[in-house]
Amino acid sequence: MTTSPHDWPAQLLAVQTVTTIGCVGLGTIGGGWAAHFLARGYDVHAWDPSPQAESRVKRLIEAAWPALEELGLFEGASPDRITVHTELADALEGVDFVQESAPEVLSLKQQLLADIDAAADPHIVVGSSTSGYSMTEMAVSAKRPERLVVGHPFNPPYLIPLVEVVGGQATSSAVVDWASGWYEHIGKSVITMDREIPGFIANRLQEALWREALHMVANGEATVEQIDKSIADGPGLRWPAHGPMLTFHMAGGEGGMAHMLDHFGPSLKSPWTRLDSPELTEELRNAVVDGCDTVLKQRGGKDLIAERDRAIIAIRKAIGEIRTGA
């Protein structure tokens, strides 16, 4: 990322002053974003080329609203505060931030981001919901690429808190900082990435699991039901509390991640997946161990095992009630 020649820090709005959001693209992701913004009390100006866009997004918002009410609505929240426009320029007039959520077609993204850049106020940030493209490759036709940044959500955006933020080579570092602060301000759990990689972080991890699952089905090694059960009733119960890295740290017992890697490191060479494993060098081992130590220090020495156990019990009880209709 490079710092823009424009004086972005002085020109960017304070996130607390944002009142109106532009949503470009009203499919499942874009409509989910619109629902989230409405629930937070914002006005939403939206655009989508489909003639059915307005009726479709209003049905999505109506279906999502009970869940949003349960999560807690903000002052002024209303499903009626959305206006769907037929012209992109009209939708972007007067908005304080734009969330683009068009289909994953690179040429479409390139042209649309250029059109958004041309139509929107030059001092506002434009975030893209792309699930895999880098902003560097998407921003090639924009005149102000410094204000374009990836804000990758997870479906449905009104329920799943994670957003991955990363700029392109021409994105201002101030814009990346602003976007991270903005998404946090609207209740998101934000990962600000240090560099661009295809698929970002979470999708790469999802994709690894997905590809191995497809291999097992294709080879007759496991059924779809077995695969889903293996995660839902197995490691998936541990991940909401701590994620895979700290889960493995706890699996190392008193020795933590260091013991886990030293003891189980040779299994990386076992044919457990179709993915090639990286060489477990001392540098990689130490980086993973140090990373766990850093997280543990940030968490203030919480008893991870007790925390994990409480989380798993709560999750199991909640899922059990849902499945039994209790």
For the chain, the domains span: 8-192, 233-324
Two tokens at 221? 């090694």
Enclosing H/E stretch for 212: helix 202-218
d(CA 183, CA 198): 21
Enclosing H/E stretch for 148: strand 148-152
Phi, psi of 148 (to 5 degrees): -100, 130
Whole-number pLDDT of residue 1:
43
Rg (CA), the chain: 22
Whole-number pLDDT of residue 316:
75
Whole-number pLDDT of residue 4:
44
Phi, psi of 258 (to 5 degrees): -60, -45
- pTM, 2 dp: 0.85
Whole-number pLDDT of residue 5:
42
Mean pLDDT by 10 residues, the chain (326 residues): 48 94 96 97 97 95 91 95 97 98 96 98 96 96 97 92 96 96 96 95 91 86 87 88 86 88 80 75 85 80 71 80 76
Q: Which fold has domain 8-192?
A: Rossmann fold (3.40.50)
Q: Which of 179, 211, 13, 184 is nearest to 96 (CA)?
A: 13
